[in-house]
């Protein structure tokens, strides 16, 4: 007996939606400031890509970070550098928490978000610029980052 094949394959649909998200979401963030930045989620995706040698995860997160920085006029490659520093300094020690499936993603996202915020504030101090305003939207972005990583 033959099985009926679906007309659209799931991986193709998933990658199409991923590409649309990566290309258009940073543009929407620049228009609607209440949308979360998702820096922690994409940084965690970058770390998983490096750890599991998945080039598609690495490529998707790098394109998202560059697109986000271009659309929001943030310092170029600061998100990538911050993610790599957190990966080198903290990620391997967090992998010892394997019994707690949620601990590693949550702690990683918190570290990424706060480390990026600290890097951005240091950049602003050094170059006497104002790239972000500290307000409740950053806290909202952190909470949404944590919720997304817990759901996924």
Look over the chain and give the mean of its residue pLDDT values, rounded to a whole number.
87
Place of tokens 């918190």: 110
Which residues lie closer than 8 Å to 66 by C-beta, 6 or more apart? 76, 77, 80
Prediction pTM value: 0.87
Task: Give me the mean pLDDT over the 44-65 stretch.
Answer: 94
Q: How many angstroms separate the CA atoms of 127 and 68, rounded?
A: 21
Nearest to 113 by CA among 26, 46, 44, 48: 44
* 100 within 8 A of 148, measured Cβ to Cβ: no
- Mean pLDDT for 113-131 is 89
pLDDT digits (tens, 9 = 90+) for 83-111: 999 999 998 888 778 778 888 899 999 99
């Amino acid at each position: 007996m033959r099985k009926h094949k679906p007309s659209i394959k799931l991986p193709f649909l998933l990658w199409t939606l991923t590409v649309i998200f990566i290309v258009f979401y940073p543009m929407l963030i620049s228009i609607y400031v209440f949308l979360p930045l998702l820096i922690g989620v994409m940084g965690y995706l970058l770390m998983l890509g490096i750890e599991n040698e998945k080039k598609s995860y690495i490529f998707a997160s790098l394109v998202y970070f560059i697109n986000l920085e271009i659309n929001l006029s943030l310092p170029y490659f600061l998100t990538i550098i911050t993610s790599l520093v957190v990966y080198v300094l903290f990620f391997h020690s967090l992998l010892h928490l394997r019994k707690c499936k949620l601990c590693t993603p949550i702690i990683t996202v918190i570290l990424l978000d706060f480390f990026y915020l600290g890097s951005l504030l240091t950049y602003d101090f050094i170059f006497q610029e104002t790239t972000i305003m500290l307000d409740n939207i950053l806290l909202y972005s952190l909470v949404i980052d944590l919720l997304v990583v817990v759901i996924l």
